[in-house]
Amino acid sequence: MSFFDRLQEATHQERTELFNLPIIRNALEGDVSLESYRAFLEQAYYHVRHTVPLMMACGARLPLRLEWLREAVCEYIDDEYGHEQWVLNDIEACGGDRNAVRDGHPSLPIELMVSFLYDLIARDNPVGLFGMVNVLEGTSIALATHAAGSIRERLELPESAFTYLSSHGSLDIEHMQTYSLLMNQLEDPGDQAAVIHASKVVYRLYADMFRGLPRNGESLHAPI
């Protein structure tokens, strides 16, 4: 079995728990309130703005034996640069306050997720950052492919309010194809274990973020 397939198998439970959350099931059916969608975009901004800095930190700490992976990180940075501005544009198109979000703070699960990833790179194994890629891009593909259009129709929002989600659907499909090829080149058991561990942690914290989003007009709070 390839490592990419083993990674999917090892994180099956965490992925299933995420996609079985009521708010995710509702989103996949297009049943999302404007408040929920804006709250999702706000939390997306707080982790998307760290994507490039995290990748830069990862690339700087990769060992020489993984030079081929550093090249892929550089290409990924080029693809991802500036996407946090897409999120802010979408928030504004939804009637939100982009400046308030930009100057605000993430929910606890997103703060912990970002902190965990920086610490993983600096203190443990920088290859583990690719566990984040596995979770976030796989989730965005599902939401963009199955939910973005129906949510837009339900909320009667312009296409300009879905720049981040819609564009990431096709972009992340391409990324995941490349990602699977990259992961299948990882041969070191320590590198593989770091990716699996990070995937499990990020799935857990990302699910906690979704649990904290408002649903059906009720404000929920993520568990601490």
Residue ranges covered by each domain of the chain: 3-211
Give the whole-angstrom CA distance, residue 84 versus residue 213: 19
- Per CATH, which fold does 3-211 belong to? Heme Oxygenase; Chain A (1.20.910)
- Given a contact cutoff of 8 angstroms between Cβ atoms, the answer to whether 118 and 55 are in contact is no
Q: Quickly state the pLDDT bin for 215 (edges 50, 70, 90).
A: confident
Give the whole-angstrom CA distance, residue 120 versus residue 114: 10
Give phi and psi for 222, each to the nearest 5. Answer: -65, 145
Helical axes 108-123 vs 34-48, angle rounded to 10°: 20
From 19-28, 125-134, 211-220, the region with the lowest mean pLDDT = 211-220
Distances (CA, A) of 158 to 143, 153, 155: 17, 9, 9
Q: Quickly state the pLDDT bin for 140 (edges 50, 70, 90).
A: confident
pLDDT at 171 over 60: no
Could you tell me which residue, 31 or 39, shows the higher pLDDT?
39
Non-local CB neighbours of 107 within 8 Å, separated by 6+ positions: 43, 46, 209, 212, 222
- Given a contact cutoff of 8 angstroms between Cβ atoms, the answer to whether 128 and 190 are in contact is no
Q: What does pTM read for this prediction?
A: 0.91
Through-space distance between the first and last CA atoms of the chain, rounded to whole angstroms: 37
Q: What is the pLDDT of residue 31?
A: 85
Q: Quickly state the pLDDT bin for 223 (edges 50, 70, 90).
A: very low
Q: Which amino acid is at 141?
A: I
- Share the mean pLDDT of the chain: 90
